[in-house]
Amino acid sequence: MTVIHPSDLEVPTLGSCAVESPLQRHWDHAEEMEIFVSDKDKILLHDSLKSVATSIAHNETPAAFELAGPRRKLFFDPGNSSCAIVTCGGLCPGINDVIRGLVMQAYHRYGLRTIHGIRCGYEGLIKDYGHPLVDLTPEAVKNIHSLGGSVLGTSRGPQDIAKIVERLCELNINILFIIGGDGTLRGASQISAESQRRNHPISVVSIPKTIDNDIMFTDKSFGYDTACAAAVEAIKAAHAEARTVRNGVGLVKLMGRHSGFIACSAALATSEVDFVLIPEVSFTLEGENGFLEALHQRIRRTGHALIVVAEGAGQELFDDSDRDTDLSGNVLLKDIGLLLKGHIEKYSKEHSLDLKFKYIDPSYMIRGVPANPQDGIYCVRLAQNAVHAAMAGKTATAIGCWHGHYVHVPISLAVSARKQVDPKGDLWHSVIEATGQSPKFN
């Protein structure tokens, strides 16, 4: 990772804040509680004693995130403001919880009465598509957290930023909440820049959405806990299939295009997995130190084996000449699950192993489930802090959780890289210890 300077963590703000927050009246009775935070309240980027001591020794200000939370003074007057909510990209547990949290906070705590739901992602902000707006009220969203998916719908792919901002201006939108992944966040940054170019101040605040947990500078993304819990159930089923027959092999393919966090965490949660394959660690199939030989030896010792593979693992084993992309420009992955299935079955025949093979791919069943209680809490708190940030005029900003604190993360920083499992780090080391597999197959 490149060196992060304090200036890289500065959050864009639309202007000075002069409007008294209505939250002051809500908390008048609780004089002993200090609910408001200042832009000067910071959370260190690196919180180790060594990093702090190094900064002090060099007479430098440590890089630190702006603490999220309610401000005493607001940029927007709640009585004359309106907001919109849009969800983009693939599904993830907790989207509806975030939508509900945004509406409840904006309506009840700040008194906003115009809250638009944008249908079908960024498409809904392009007039030519003809998607109607949705009027979001506490009554309209009261039960949506019990549903999977997104009640607003979603779509992939970029749209004309100028047309999006024209539509926001036409609707007199002051605040835009965007729920989406890295491509969506890049679009959010462009929307913020274009609105400022037009001298139409719009606060653009994002809640990062990625089931793979691969957004930088946040401890975890919402939906990740739910995904891991659902993945564990699939692993348990595959384990039951594998261990109840002679030479049984279970293979579970989980989400993780570029990052193997779900595969690692779900494997650790069960302590039943023999092999974990992730995108960050390349491997070979053939040869004395290849994966197939390691699988053979494991079955000889225990009579069965259980494999968990992230969807982006082993892409180097495919021919790159015919790669396609989706509407968002992401390279479409080849199916590593089917590749492994074919090679394992071929290896079984060549070595007369008579393997009993079961392949489970629960990915889309996991993406569409409602959030579990832990994620539900997380979604509400992310949403609350997003509303606080927006009312204070923060823009081009994502809400993250860093070292247990909710913080403002400049979108430019959040999309500067992709968070991945460190092959030399503690998580992968724990996986190696739990499975007993070789650190590498090559």
The predicted structure's pLDDT at residue 237 = 96
Mean pLDDT of 35-48: 94
State the helix-helix crossing angle for 426-435 and 261-270, rounded to 10 degrees: 40
Among the listed ranges 160-164, 291-295, 329-333, which one has the minimum average pLDDT value?
329-333
Query: pLDDT band for position 1 (50/70/90)?
Result: low
In 3D, which of 129, 161, 20, 158 has the Cα closest to residue 79? Answer: 20
Q: Residue 328 has what pLDDT?
A: 65
Mean pLDDT of 363-390: 96
Residues contacting residue 336 through CB under 8 Å, at least 6 positions apart: 253, 277, 309, 311, 312, 313, 314, 315, 317
pLDDT at 303: 95
- Provide the pLDDT confidence category of residue 321 given band limits of 50, 70 and 90: low
Query: CA dist 81 to 19, 126, 175, Å?
Result: 12, 22, 8
The answer to whether residues 83 and 175 touch, using CB atoms and an 8 Å cutoff, is: yes
Mean pLDDT value across residues 187-203: 96
Is the pLDDT at 30 greater than 70, yes or no? no
What is the pLDDT confidence band of residue 3, given thresholds at 50, 70 and 90? confident
Same fold, 6-221+369-414 and 226-367+423-435: yes
Confidence at 24, pLDDT banded by 50, 70, 90 = confident
Confidence category of residue 35, pLDDT binned at 50, 70, 90: confident
User: What are the domain boundaries of the chain?
Assistant: 6-221+369-414, 226-367+423-435
Fold adopted by 6-221+369-414: Rossmann fold (3.40.50)
Token duo for residue 420 = 């991945």
Residue 91: is its pLDDT beyond 70? Answer: yes
At 219 the pLDDT is 95
Q: Which residue has better confidence, 181 or 332?
A: 181
Whole-structure pTM over 0.85, yes or no? Answer: yes
Quick one: average pLDDT of 173-195?
97
What pLDDT score was predicted for residue 329?
A: 67
Q: Residue 413 above 70 pLDDT?
A: yes
Residues 329-352 have a mean pLDDT of: 91
Task: Output the six-digit token pair for 356.
Answer: 């009993």
In the chain, the percentage of residues whose pLDDT exceeds 70 is 96
* Whether the predicted pLDDT of 405 surpasses 70: yes
Catalytic residue among 47, 77, 128, 212: 212
pLDDT of 261 above 70 = yes
Query: Sign of dihedral through CA atoms 37, 404, 363, 141?
Result: negative
> Does residue 332 register a pLDDT over 90?
no
Confidence label for 29 from pLDDT (cuts 50, 70 and 90): low
The pLDDT of 416-433, averaged and rounded, is 96
Instruction: Confirm whether 212 is a catalytic residue.
Output: yes
pLDDT of residue 442: 82
Q: Average model confidence (pLDDT) for the chain? A: 94
User: 2 pLDDT exceeds 60?
Assistant: yes
CATH code that applies to domain 226-367+423-435:
3.40.50.460
Question: Is a pLDDT exceeding 80 seen at residue 253?
Answer: yes
Over residues 139-164, the pLDDT tens digits come to 999 999 999 999 999 999 899 999 99
pLDDT at res. 342: 95
Task: Work out the average pLDDT over 280-308.
Answer: 96
In this prediction, residue 32 carries a pLDDT of 62
| Cβ-count burial 127-140 (b if 16+ within 10 Å, e if not) | eeeebeebebeeeb
What is the rounded average pLDDT of the residues 350-373? 93
212-216, 304-308, 321-325, 340-344, range with the lowest pLDDT: 321-325
